[in-house]
Amino acid sequence: MSKLDQIVDFLETEKTDVAVVSDPVTINFLTGFYSDPHERQLFLFVYTDHEPLLFVPALEVERATAVVDFQVVGYVDSENPWQKIKATLPVEAVKAVAVEFDNLILTKYHGLKTVFEQADFTNLTPFIQRMRLIKSADEIQKML
């Protein structure tokens, strides 16, 4: 089972509609794509009933598309990232969102609240930390 499939199973078990991953290290852990966006927005959206989506600065779209096998959406600095996310994602029926509380700064939280207006937010961090405890064969090989 892939790491993204584990996230989907967690969402289904917890009756949560979407996971929003915002830590670049966690995004790398789940997808193999790493970027340090500095002040720009970088998110991985994992749904129970839709394909994942990686939201990156426009400068990273080509590199991200070479790594992941699902949709990558970029935005330029002149665009409002929250409006673009809301226009791109299926957000209407979302009632519960799991986010990394340990990495969610207040400006990201407020931005995500404009996207998922009716949703309750829960903490995804403990599940991600448990996932990291169990190493895959490729992770073990990299450590050697």
Per-residue pLDDT reduced to its tens digit, 99-142: 999 988 999 999 999 999 989 999 999 999 999 887 776 666 77
4-17 pLDDT, tens digit each: 999 999 999 999 99
Residue 8 tokens read as: 């989907």
Q: How far is Cα 113 from Cα 123, in angstroms, rounded to an integer?
A: 15
Per DSSP, the residues of 79-100 read: S-HHHHHHHHS--TT--EEEE-
State the Rg of the chain over Cα.
15
Place of tokens 């991953």: 21
Q: What is the pTM of this model?
A: 0.91
